[in-house]
């Protein structure tokens, strides 16, 4: 059984939403149900970059 950490799942979900919104952070934050500041902090925390 492959057990992934919640942080890893969250990072992947944020990356997916950012990619789907062409990195429009305001739209991504709205879809994720968080504010832009929280999204910016999570991008930095997880080291997410455009792919």
pLDDT in tens, 12-28: 999 999 999 999 999 99
Residue 33 lies in a domain: yes
Residue 15 lies in a domain: yes
Residue 1 lies in a domain: no
Residue 37 lies in a domain: yes
34-43 confidence digits (pLDDT tens): 999 999 999 9
Instruction: Show the domain range for 20.
Output: 6-46
The alpha carbon of residue 43 and the mean position of all alpha carbons in its chain are separated, in whole angstroms, by 6
pTM of the predicted protein model: 0.88
Give the separation between CA 40 and CA 4, rounded to whole angstroms.
Answer: 23
Give the separation between CA 36 and CA 39, rounded to whole angstroms.
Answer: 5
- With b for 16 or more beta-carbon neighbours within 10 A and e for fewer, the 20-50 pattern comes to ebeeeeeebbeebeeeeeebeebbeeeebee
Q: What would the mean pLDDT of 40-49 be, rounded to a whole number?
A: 97
Residue 51 lies in a domain: no
How many domains, in total, are found in the chain?
1
* pLDDT recorded at residue 50: 93
Q: What would the mean pLDDT of 2-18 be, rounded to a whole number?
A: 92
* pLDDT recorded at residue 1: 59
**CATH of residue 16:** 1.10.10
């Amino acid at each position: 059984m492959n057990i992934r950490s919640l942080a890893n799942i969250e990072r992947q979900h944020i990356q997916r939403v950012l990619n789907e919104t062409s990195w429009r952070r305001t739209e991504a934050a709205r879809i994720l149900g968080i504010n832009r500041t929280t999204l910016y902090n999570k991008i930095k925390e997880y080291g997410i970059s455009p792919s």
